[in-house]
Structure 1
Amino acid sequence: MRLLLLGGTDFGGRAIAEAARDRGWEVTVFHRGEHPPPPGVAVLHGDRTAPDGLAALAAGEWDAAVDTWTSAPRVVRDAARLLAGRVGRYAFVSSRSVYAWPIPAGLDEDGPLADGDPDAEATDYAADKRGSELAAVREFGAERTLLLRAGLILGPRENSGRLPWWLERVSRGGPVLAPGPRDTPLQYVDARDLAAWTLDALKTGLHGAFNVVSPTGHTTMGELLDACVDATGSDAKLVWTDPAAIEAAGVAAWSDLPIWCPPGGELHDALHRGDVSRVLAAGLRCRPVAETVGDTWAWLRSLSPASESA
Structure 2
Amino acid sequence: MKALVVGGTGPTGPYILEGLKERGYEVTIYHRGLHEPDDLPEVAHHQHGDPFNLDTLKEDFSRAKFDLVISMYGRLRYVASVLSGKTERFVGIGGSAAYISPEYAEDPIAAQSLPIPMNHPTYENRDINPFGYAVANSERRLMEMHERGEFEASLIRYPTLYGPRTPRQWLWPIMRRYIEGRRKIIVPGDGSLIFPTGYSENIAEIVLLVSDKPEAVGKIFNAVDSRTHTIKNFIKLVGKILDYEWDIIEVSHPIGYQLAKGYAPEKSKMLDNTSLKTLLGYKDVVSVEEGIKRTIEWILNNTDSFDQSIESLLGNPYAYEVEDLVVKTLTNSNKELAPLFEKVQNQPAIQEFRGGQY
> What TM-score results when the alignment is normalised by the length of structure 1?
0.79
Question: Counterpart in 2 of 1:2?
Answer: 2
Matches within 5 A, 1:87-166: 87-102=87-102, 103-106=111-114, 107-115=116-124, 124-141=130-147, 144-166=152-174
Alpha-carbon distance in structure 1 between the residues aligned to 2:181 and 2:288: 21
Q: In the TM superposition, what is the alpha-carbon distance from 1:277 to its structure 2 partner? A: 1.6
CA shift, 1:203, in A, is 0.9
Residue of structure 1 in register with 2:222 after alignment: 211
1:43-85 Cα distance to aligned partner (Å, 9 max, x none): 1121133463122222332221111246xxxx43332222122
Given that 1:116 and 1:130 are in contact with CA atoms closer than 8 Å, whether structure 2 keeps it comes out as: no
Taking the TM superposition and a 5 Å limit, the aligned residue runs for 1:225-244 are 225-231=235-241, 233=242, 236-244=244-252
Q: Any conservation in 1 of the 2:186–2:251 contact (CA below 8 Å)?
A: no
Q: Equivalent residue for 2:196?
A: 187
CA distance in 2, matches of 1:186, 1:48: 29
Q: 1:285 to 1:12 in 2, by over 3 A?
A: same
- Unmatched runs of 5 consecutive residues or more in structure 2: 103-110, 307-358
Contact kept, 8 Å, 2:190 with 2:252, in 1: the verdict is no
Higher RCO, Cα 8 Å, sep 6+: 1
Deviations 1:163-182 (A, max 9, x none): 22222322333413141635
Greater fraction helix:
2
| Alignment check: 8 A CA contact 1:149 1:212 kept | yes
Kept in 2, the 8 Å contact 1:164–1:296? The answer is no
* Aligned 8 A contact 2:71 2:79 in 1: no
For 1:290, give the aligned amino acid: E
RMSD: 2.9
Contact 1:178 1:238 in 2 (8 A): no
Q: How far 1:105 moved relative to its partner?
A: 2.6
Q: In structure 2, what is the equivalent of residue 120 of structure 1?
A: none
Q: Distance in 1 between matches of 2:50 and 2:69?
A: 17
From 275, 280, 285, give the equivalent of 2:277: 280
Partner of 1:58: 62
| 8 A Cα contact 1:15 1:195, kept in partner | yes
1:22 to partner: Cα distance? 4.9
Q: Is the 8 A contact 2:117 2:272 kept in 1?
A: yes
Q: What is the deviation of 1:304? A: 5.9
Cα shift at 1:39: 3.0
Q: Within the alignment, does 1:67 sit opposite 2:71 as a pair?
A: yes
- The reply to whether residue 220 of structure 1 matches residue 234 of structure 2 is no
Secondary structure, in 3 states, of the residue corresponding to 1:4?
strand
Query: Structure 1 residue 185: deviation in Å?
Result: 4.3
Amino acid at match of 1:64: L
Partner of 2:298: 299
Instruction: State the Cα distance separating 1:33 from its structure 2 match.
Output: 1.0
Displacement, 1:88? 1.7
**Count of matched residue positions in the alignment of Structure 1 and Structure 2:** 284
TM-score (norm 2): 0.70
Match status 1:40 vs 2:42: yes
Identity value in percent: 20
Answer whether contact 1:93 1:150 (CA < 8 A) is retained: yes
- Give yes or no for contact 1:157–1:296 (8 Å, CA) kept in 2: no
After superposition, what is the alpha-carbon deviation per residue over 1:204-252, rounded to whole angstroms, capped at 9, x for unaligned?
Answer: 121211111134x622334422332244x36x4322222315x3xx232
Which has more radius of gyration? 2
